Amino acid sequence: MQRLAADIGNDLDHGVISAWAQELKAWVALNDGDYRRAVTEAQIGQAMAPHSPIVVQLLGHEAEALGRIGDLPAAERALGRMNELRTKMPRPDQPSITISSKLPSSTKSRS
């Protein structure tokens, strides 16, 4: 999935899609315990779409990885940037609406 997203972002020269692919890479690195790679992937993604909301998530991944490495001052700086950006973003009109609520009923999983 992350490779497909990266390919689409690259083919379309679309920084936001590419940044979302980087977010997935950073998340996978975090879950794998490869914290230095997580920091690198998160920083690459931030550079791809610096004014996109995905940067908030990327900064969160970066901060978590830095904290796990033990670089608390850098983690706090990343959290500060994350909170600053988050507060500047508009509030969603309908925060309770999720992607799955917009899917046709035939595509939703059945319980």
pLDDT in tens, the chain (111 residues): 455 544 444 444 547 888 998 999 999 999 999 999 999 999 999 999 998 889 999 999 999 999 999 999 999 999 999 999 988 887 767 666 554 455 455 544 544
pTM listed for this prediction: 0.72
Q: What distance in Å separates the CA atoms of residue 18 and residue 24, rounded to the nearest whole number?
A: 10
List Cβ neighbours of 64 (8 Å cut-off, separation of 6 or more).
Answer: 30, 38, 75
Q: What distance in Å separates the CA atoms of residue 50 and residue 65, rounded to the nearest whole number?
A: 19
Q: What distance in Å separates the CA atoms of residue 91 and residue 75, rounded to the nearest whole number?
A: 25
What pLDDT shows up at residue 90?
78
| 3-state DSSP assignment of residue 13 | coil
| 3-state DSSP assignment of residue 71 | coil
What pLDDT shows up at residue 12?
45
Q: What angle do CA 37, 17, 56 make, to 5 degrees?
A: 60
